[in-house]
Structure 1
Amino acid sequence: MRHDPLNDIINSIKSASRTGNRTIEAEPAARLIGRVLKVMQDYNYLRSFEVVDESKGGKFKIVLSDTINNCGVIKPRFPVKNSLLEKYEARYLPAQDFGILILTTTKGVMSHIEARKQGLGGRLLAYVY
């Protein structure tokens, strides 16, 4: 029984990048997870990903790039105002302007950089650097 599919996929990505594997298949192919992977791809942490619809729930086929040092899921999913993003950036990222926080906002899933530009807050989902 899965309690947190996002955590499972992020941990699969972290394990694959540490062992040198460049492709992984992870399930389930949920929309939220797809949007998180799209943000990671936009910042060149993933080369590509696609949905492989073989069974109930489907799978993602993910091709990693060489730029992931660490990634993880943020729990509990803190609600964050735009003015407090810098506090969580200092907590989860090793340096300023190095890596991204991924959060869900009223405008969709985006990085903390985009959320700050748009003046949005939201709930923290994950970090990547």
Structure 2
Amino acid sequence: MTDPIADFLTRLRNAQKAGHRVVEIPASNVKKNMTKVLFDQGYIQSYKFVEDGPQGTVKVALKYHPVTKKPAMEKLIRVSKPGLRKYAKNTELPRVLNGLGIAILSTNKGIISNKEARALNIGGEVLCYIY
């Protein structure tokens, strides 16, 4: 696999389109931190790290609207790719859907959302947009 972050986003996207409640994803430290950011921002219901094998898996309980059954995450867009990395300074942090969505960044303080990066006044690699 050449791009594990794109695989993570694609598994979430496919599980939502199929209407699944829980999706299992092979774990890595980046994926675990991205899952924590998604939970903190309210895009997933819950998560659990299962240690089986060398890395383990991440079980993610997806979040849907109780009446309309629409998923909490409309779009998951990979921004920085292995062939073309995208970086943002602290003054040029992206605003996703005019502040309604989030961008997940990889910074020297770890993997955080664009809102946290703006508060900490740091930039980094823009991994993905979620709204």
TM-score, structure 1 as length reference:
0.87
The residue correspondences of 1:1-129 to structure 2 (distance < 5 A) are 2-27=1-26, 29-66=27-64, 67-74=72-79, 75=81, 76-86=84-94, 89=95, 93=96, 95-129=97-131
Deviation at 1:72, TM superposition (A): 2.5
Give, in whole Å, the separation in 2 of the partners of 1:77 and 1:15. Answer: 25
The Cα RMSD (Å) is 1.3
How many matched pairs? 121
Give, in whole Å, the separation in 1 of the partners of 2:22 and 2:37. Answer: 18
Tell me which stretches of 4 or more aligned residues in structure 1 moved more than 6 Å.
none
Structure 1 regions of 5+ residues with no counterpart? Answer: none
Q: Which moved more, 1:33-42 or 1:51-60?
A: 51-60
Q: Which moved more, 1:70-79 or 1:2-11?
A: 70-79
Deviations 1:11-52 (A, max 9, x none): 11011112211101111x111110011001001111111121
8 Å CA contact retained: 1:11, 1:72: no
Give, in whole Å, the separation in 2 of the partners of 1:12 and 1:111. Answer: 20
Instruction: Tell me the secondary structure at the aligned position of residue 83 of structure 1.
Output: coil
Give, in whole Å, the separation in 2 of the partners of 1:99 and 1:25. Answer: 24
Deviation at 1:101, TM superposition (A): 0.2
TM-score, structure 2 as length reference:
0.86
Percent of aligned pairs with the same residue? 31
